[in-house]
Structure 1
Amino acid sequence: MSEKILVTGATGFVGSALVERLLSCQEKQVVALVRQKEVSFPTEVLVSVVSEKGEFAELSFDDVKSIVHCAARVHIMNDRSVNPLADFREVNVKFTLDLARRAAEAGVKRFVFLSSIKVNGEETSPGFPFQADDIPAPVDPYGCSKMEAEQGLRRISEELGIEVVIIRPVLVYGPGVKANFRSMMNWLDKGFPLPFGAIQNKRSLVSLDNLVDLIITCLDHPGAANQIFMVSDGEDVSTTDLLIKMGNALGKPARLIPIPSMFINVGAVLSGRRDLARRLNGSLQVDIQKTRKLLDWSPIESLDEGLVKVAKDFRSGSN
């Protein structure tokens, strides 16, 4: 009998790609936990529905060996919530821990939790990447909620014996990517001159295929049990270099003006966009040596290869 893998957030950016990849594994059967009954999946996927309040009393864990928990209230720029931390905790902490406890009590062996690099913090000094076992230092409510979920999962693991695997992705890109990444592709495609030609930061990114490949590795690998892993493409780039690579993938050479980062920072502060300036000028690197060593894992595609896929999807106009 095929083992069942329960995937939450199965309609999301990462979850949908994970479901598609799992369907190619003949020895695995996918159970998708979703909020809307009308969501369409291939006939091979079993579908369970969670209520808007996060209730899943009717969910059966029969024959479920592992859970990949992708569902989350994601980080929102300019969040207008009256109490963002409470809202993040309701989904990212309470729902996560309720699900994990129910799963552990039902005999599920492993719980793979898609966390966030924001548990470590917002920025690194160039050449000093975040490590998987660093002391957490989240800054915003989203990062705090992910940290609290991680801590709760470890307590449940100690109490009930379920194996917990925590993955902290950096910025994920791939076909269907939205937000700032897609905006940059739009700027490049239209040939806009951009004032980002002299940025000397270093940032780690991870392609969607690399992240999904690591998740699947963590489902079965004995060395993954009760560990925290960083994940990236294994190649850190400056914003300037990233834009050049994106332009090459699009076939539209980037038109970059070498404006010093200091002036970009000043302009961002004056326009109330300090967070955007940090993303453009700041460094955020992760060290994936632990991931490579414990799991004998390496990224299956390079940054350039991942960008070609994004560019092809962008050109297809599918989003």
Structure 2
Amino acid sequence: MLSGSLENIGVLVTGSTGFIGQVLSQNLIRSGCEVTGTATKKRPGVLAVPLTTDDWGHALEGIDTVIHCAALAHVPESKDESFKAQVRALNVEAPATLARQAKEHGVKRFIFLSSVKAMGESTPPNSPYRNNSECSPEDLYGKSKRDAELALKKELEGSATELVIIRPPLVYGPGVKGNFKALMGLAKKNLPLPFGSVENKRSLVSLDNLVSLIVTCVKHPEPLNGTFLVSDDHDVSSKELFETLTRAYGKDPKLWPFPVSLMKLGATILGKKNIADRLFGNLQLDISHTKKTLNWEPPVAFEDAIQKCVNSENQ
């Protein structure tokens, strides 16, 4: 059984130089953990271990908890069977191999960073995903995460190694890239945008809140097996998100009302339906199970996390 303290706990963090892994590793070290970090390329203080390795032995020596953050992310849809095989090798077979060897080395807890995409892409209004909701992933990345979850459960079932699965939605914070970075760029320019009538609801999670939950799972003193959803516990519309980002830049938002149905139609005609779904659709998570089971609350408020994200641009 792990203690409630992080002092002298040996933790292996895969993908330790990535957007999440780097901040997570720093927090664990400050808390007294003995952290071994791995990445696919050699970095100072980090073991260079390819995800497809068959031998994790040297990285697992003295490890109590494994946190598997590494994965092939931002996976485009593809009919290329060789690319699909690569995604499976990195996102499904690699964590299963690591879990098998972690079990053989007596690792007490295996924490897998999955994704809300393992469940699906959207939720009906006021019907959020829960930790035990049915999983119906739609894209290649989401399917790979769900397949990985199932492979890990099969590998660790009946063993002394506990399995903790964490499913975050979109993660934002200092250094964020992709769609959220693009939204920040729009907010910074403060162009007039037709989002004044958008009242959808989407769950997000700041990097600080996600790291806080992972650290909580590391130090949880009781046996811990299960799936946990995480968010800021503050669902936002695209309108509120743009407004909050714009104000974080010290500007007054310029959003004007326009029928959402017409924007969806226009996006579909232009072949941008996926973007419209994210801007105008719902994707909510109910994290009550996580909060109750782990006695955890998101420590950073949504507005404060957005401000930190914006401020980081000038650092």
Calculate the TM-score normalised by the size of structure 2.
0.93
1:82 paired residue among 80, 84, 87: 80
User: Contact 2:190 / 2:246 at 8 angstroms: preserved in 1?
Assistant: no
CA offset at residue 195 of structure 1? 2.0
Unmatched runs of 5 consecutive residues or more in structure 1: 42-46
CA distance in 2: counterparts of 1:35 and 1:224, whole angstroms: 31
- The corresponding residue for 2:44 is 40
Q: What letter matches 2:106 in structure 1?
A: G
CA distance in 2: counterparts of 1:52 and 1:181, whole angstroms: 27
Unmatched runs of 5 consecutive residues or more in structure 2: 1-6
User: Contact 1:48 / 1:59 at 8 angstroms: preserved in 2?
Assistant: no
CA distance in 2: counterparts of 1:59 and 1:7, whole angstroms: 13
Q: What letter matches 1:213 in structure 2?
A: S
CA offset at residue 257 of structure 1? 2.4
- The corresponding residue for 2:8 is 2
- The corresponding residue for 2:132 is 133
CA offset at residue 85 of structure 1? 3.5
- The corresponding residue for 2:3 is none
User: Contact 2:12 / 2:59 at 8 angstroms: preserved in 1?
Assistant: no
- The corresponding residue for 2:298 is 299
Matched residue of 2:41: which SS? coil
CA distance in 2: counterparts of 1:159 and 1:270, whole angstroms: 51
CA distance in 1: counterparts of 2:237 and 2:102, whole angstroms: 42
User: Contact 1:194 / 1:256 at 8 angstroms: preserved in 2?
Assistant: yes
Matched residue of 2:191: which SS? coil
User: Contact 2:245 / 2:306 at 8 angstroms: preserved in 1?
Assistant: yes
CA distance in 1: counterparts of 2:254 and 2:91, whole angstroms: 40
Matched residue of 2:101: which SS? helix
CA distance in 2: counterparts of 1:50 and 1:90, whole angstroms: 15
CA distance in 2: counterparts of 1:224 and 1:291, whole angstroms: 15
- The corresponding residue for 1:18 is 24
- The corresponding residue for 2:64 is 65
- The corresponding residue for 1:30 is 35
Alignment of 1:1-319 (within 5 A): 2-26=8-32, 28-37=33-42, 39-41=43-45, 47-51=46-50, 53-57=52-56, 59-76=58-75, 78-79=76-77, 82-83=80-81, 84-222=83-221, 225-314=224-313, 316=314
CA offset at residue 79 of structure 1? 4.4
1:303 to 1:59, Cα distance in 2 relative to 1, 3 A: same
Matched residue of 1:243: which SS? helix
CA offset at residue 54 of structure 1? 3.5
CA offset at residue 237 of structure 1? 1.0
CA distances 1:97-131 after superposition (whole Å, capped 9, x unpaired): 00010011010110000000011111011211000
CA distance in 1: counterparts of 2:298 and 2:131, whole angstroms: 17
1:136 to 1:80, Cα distance in 2 relative to 1, 3 A: closer
User: Contact 1:6 / 1:67 at 8 angstroms: preserved in 2?
Assistant: yes
User: Contact 1:169 / 1:211 at 8 angstroms: preserved in 2?
Assistant: yes
User: Contact 1:7 / 1:15 at 8 angstroms: preserved in 2?
Assistant: yes
CA distances 1:211-255 after superposition (whole Å, capped 9, x unpaired): 000000001214561110000011111100111111111112221
CA offset at residue 23 of structure 1? 1.5
- Aligned length, in residue pairs: 308
Matched residue of 1:134: which SS? coil
User: Contact 1:165 / 1:224 at 8 angstroms: preserved in 2?
Assistant: no
User: Contact 1:174 / 1:310 at 8 angstroms: preserved in 2?
Assistant: yes
1:94 to 1:262, Cα distance in 2 relative to 1, 3 A: same
Matched residue of 1:196: which SS? coil
- Identical counterparts, % of pairs: 41
User: Contact 1:105 / 1:160 at 8 angstroms: preserved in 2?
Assistant: no
CA distance in 1: counterparts of 2:54 and 2:37, whole angstroms: 15
Matched residue of 1:92: which SS? helix
Q: What letter matches 1:19 in structure 2?
A: S
CA offset at residue 75 of structure 1? 2.9
